[in-house]
Structure 1
Amino acid sequence: MDDQSAERLAAILPVLINAGAYDVYFTPIQMKKNRPATKLSVLINKRDLEDITYLIFKHTSTVGIRYQSFNRTVMSRHFTKVTTPWGAVSVKVATFKDITKQTPEFEDCLAISQKYQLPIDNVYQMVYQQLKN
């Protein structure tokens, strides 16, 4: 889009996320006649295409939308809790075949960091230390 301000474009991001988009992002591009513009990319489930298309037309200046289909592989996920000296932290556990990834939830770590005035890295380190035990 070459005719919509950054402020007005920013407003569409939460609308699309709340409508079920997996991700929404903007990319600066050059359009015809060398005009600077912004490309809006939205990753969605195919079943949401009509609703998301409606929202893009409603909340942006665009008059056309291009579509592309991609395949997606997602690791199985579940959550567990780790107890730290400052409280419990949720940890996302993702698996695929023999691969396991464990990631502390940012919001839990941030809340502890703020409550106890700790660097957030200290909270993450404590969670990872507890995961090793």
Structure 2
Amino acid sequence: MSSEVYSYLYEKILSEGALDVYTESIFMKKNRPAIKISVLCEVEDLEKFVDILILETSTFGVRYTKYNRAKIDREFREISTPYGNITVKLGYYKGSLIKVSPEYEQCKQMSKDNKVPIITIFNNINFFIQQEFKPNLLT
């Protein structure tokens, strides 16, 4: 299968509501190199993603399994930065705030809009996050 297809698949699968998608280099029978596509999705979406993989790729079959998932509680909040307001995701575990991270797509847009490297955006926003949320974060 042409490598260009993978970029298209990532976009399509994510736009259809997958929780995540990733690829891995593997070896199949007779030591043939291959690319394994993994799609993480809700059980009720399984058939939709099987259809996409069968119809949009060179595969002749799809293997699937059910995984359990533990996740932390999330909250979204907007904070002010020199680059504009940005949404940050707050992660709570057992009632305590343990993680805060800026939304990637907004950082990417700020980088383009301000003509500043994205690493600079991340570093500066993480500084503001530390100032605003540090007393609550476990260290």
Which TM-score band applies after superposition, normalised by the shorter structure?
0.7 to 0.9
May I ask how many residue pairs the two structures share in their alignment?
130
Counterpart of 2:66 in structure 1 is 69
Counterpart of 2:132 in structure 1 is 130
Distance 2:111 2:126 in 1: 10
Query: Would the aligned equivalents of 1:91 and 1:105 in 2 still touch at CA under 8 Å?
Result: yes
Amino acid at match of 2:80: T
CA RMSD of aligned residues (A): 2.0
Query: Would the aligned equivalents of 1:20 and 1:44 in 2 still touch at CA under 8 Å?
Result: yes
Report the alpha carbon displacement of residue 115 of structure 1 after superposing the two structures with TM: 3.8
Distance 2:67 2:33 in 1: 27
State which of 2, 7, 12 in structure 2 corresponds to 1:5: 2
Which moved further from structure 2: 107-116 or 75-84? Answer: 107-116
Amino acid at match of 1:125: F
Distance 1:9 1:107 in 2: 21
Distance 2:47 2:105 in 1: 32
Distance 1:109 1:8 in 2: 27
| 1:49 to 1:113, Cα distance in 2 relative to 1, 3 A | closer
Report the alpha carbon displacement of residue 63 of structure 1 after superposing the two structures with TM: 0.9
In the alignment, structure 2 segments of 5+ residues that lack a partner are none
Query: Would the aligned equivalents of 1:84 and 1:130 in 2 still touch at CA under 8 Å?
Result: no
Identical positions, percent: 37
Counterpart of 2:30 in structure 1 is 33
Name which structure has the greater RCO, CA cutoff 8 Å, separation 6+: 1
Say which SS state the counterpart of residue 59 (structure 2) adopts.
coil
Report the alpha carbon displacement of residue 7 of structure 1 after superposing the two structures with TM: 1.5
Under a length normalisation based on structure 2, what TM-score does the superposition of the two structures give? 0.80
Distance 2:15 2:50 in 1: 14
Q: 2:88 aligned with 1:91, yes or no?
A: yes
